[in-house]
Amino acid sequence: MTNEEADLLIEIAKRMRKNLLELPEPGHKEFYKAVSLADTKKFTIQMFRGNSRRDKYQIALLYKKNFVLMRVDTGATGIHYNTDKSIIPPNTPHLHYYDEHISHENKCHDAIVLPDRFTNPADAIQLLQDFLKYINIIDMAEIQIIQQGGLPYGQHK
């Protein structure tokens, strides 16, 4: 896949298959299905929550079940080394992106500091909302995000 094709898949307007999304419990993953408006492209948003580090989250946009187009990481304690020798410092939320020119198997290895469009990476609900907006989910007004066993976002006190 070319970088241009990957960018188009990220930018294409999508809608969620379900309107109620539950955040994963510590040490677990949740999978959320999305589809292009023409219903021709299918996507999975995978969210992982760390077990020992409750601030550790990974949210990935997958195409055709396992092709990673991009991934957000928070709570990573180590230094992230990019192929161009640039680094992301420890505990810095960052965005991995697909690059066809990366020589090793993980084409989503390189990363940048999380863009400002991610308003509060420490808040898991806000992080997921910002991720969904970033990947052009257009039915955000209908989506509710809840903690496992919790109340919908905006209804907790």
Residue 147: its pLDDT value, please?
Answer: 84
Cβ-contact 113, 93 below 8 angstroms: yes
Could you read off the pLDDT of 21-47 as tens digits, one per residue? 999 998 999 999 999 998 899 999 999
Residue 148: its pLDDT value, please?
Answer: 72
Q: pTM above 0.85? A: yes
Predicted confidence band at 76 (pLDDT cuts at 50, 70, 90)? confident
Cβ-contact 59, 125 below 8 angstroms: no
Q: Is the per-residue pLDDT at 157 higher than 50?
A: no
84, 88, 97, 107 from 102: Cα distances, Å = 10, 17, 11, 6
Alpha-carbon distance of 133 to 128, in angstroms, equals 9
Distance of CA 152 to the CA centre of its chain: 20
Helices (H) and strands (E) in the chain, counts: 2, 11
Cβ-contact 87, 81 below 8 angstroms: yes
Domain range annotation of the chain: 3-146
Per the prediction, the chain carries an average pLDDT of 89
Residue 38: its pLDDT value, please?
Answer: 87
